[in-house]
C-alpha cells in the first residue's frame, strides 16, 4: 500500500524552534524531536541551535552512532518540500523572469520618458522665444 508522506517547507519547519516545539531537518527529512530534547546526551541547547536550518551537517559532525540514527528515524514526521525555496524572498529569478519584470516595468512606466520628451518639446521653444525677446537676438 502506498504511504502518504507529509511535505513541509523549510519556512514551516523553521517555526518549530523552541523547547516545547522543536523540529529539525536532516537529509531532507523533518523530525519532531520535542519529546527527546531533555533526554539528548549532548544537551537540548545543541539541538535547539540546529533548528530553523538544514541540520544535516550538525547531526553528522556530532559523530552520532547507528542507534542514534535509528532513534532519529522514530521521530520522522515527513519530508522537506524541496520545490519551495528556503526563504521565498531569496528565490533566484531566472533570466526569463527578469526580462518579464523589465517588460512589466516598461509597460507601467512608459509615460515618464514620453512626458519628459513632451515637456521639453513644448517648454524648449517657449524658453528660447523668451530669451530671443529678452536679448534681442
Ligand atoms: C542536529 C542536532 C544535534 C546535535 C548538534 C547533536 C549533538 C550531539 C553531541 C555533541 C553528542 C555527544 C554528547 C556527548 O559526548 O556527551 C550527541 C550524542 C547523542 N545524540 Fe545528538 N545531536 C543532535 C541531534 C540529535 C537527535 C535529533 C538525536 C536523536 C533523536 C540525537 C541522539 C543522540 C544520541 C543517542 C547520542 C549519544 C551518542 C550516540 O549514540 O551517538 N542527537 N549529540
Q: Which atom of ligand 1 is nearest to the CA of 64?
A: 41
Give the predicted TM-score (pTM) of the model: 0.70
pLDDT score for 92? 56
Which residue in this structure is represented by grid cell 532519529?
72
Q: Would you say 71 and 35 are in contact if contact means Cβ atoms under 8 Å apart?
A: no
Task: Express each pLDDT in 61-99 by its tens digit.
Answer: 999 999 999 999 999 999 999 997 766 655 555 667 778
Whether residues 126 and 62 share a domain: the answer is no
Whether residues 104 and 54 share a domain: the answer is no
Q: Which atom of ligand 1 is nearest to the CA of 65?
A: 41
> Which residue segment(s) compose the domain that 122 sits in?
95-135
Q: Is the CB of 40 under 6 A from ligand 1?
A: yes
Q: Is residue 128 part of a domain?
A: yes
Q: Would you say 43 and 53 are in contact if contact means Cβ atoms under 8 Å apart?
A: no
Amino acid at each position: 500500500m502506498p504511504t502518504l508522506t507529509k511535505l513541509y517547507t523549510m519556512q514551516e519547519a523553521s517555526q518549530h524552534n523552541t523547547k516545547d516545539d522543536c523540529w529539525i531537518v536532516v537529509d531532507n527529512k523533518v523530525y519532531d524531536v520535542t519529546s527527546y530534547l531533555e533526554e539528548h546526551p549532548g544537551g537540548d541547547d545543541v539541538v535547539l541551535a540546529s533548528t530553523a536550518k538544514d541540520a544535516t551537517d550538525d547531526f553528522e559532525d556530532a559523530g552520532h552512532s547507528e542507534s542514534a540514527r535509528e532513534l532519529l528515524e522514530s521521530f520522522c514526521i515527513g519530508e522537506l518540500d524541496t520545490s519551495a525555496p528556503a526563504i521565498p524572498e531569496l528565490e533566484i529569478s531566472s533570466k526569463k523572469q527578469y526580462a518579464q519584470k523589465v517588460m512589466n516595468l516598461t509597460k507601467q512606466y512608459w509615460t515618464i520618458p514620453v512626458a519628459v520628451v513632451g515637456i521639453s518639446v513644448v517648454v524648449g521653444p517657449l524658453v528660447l522665444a523668451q530669451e530671443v525677446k529678452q536679448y534681442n537676438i
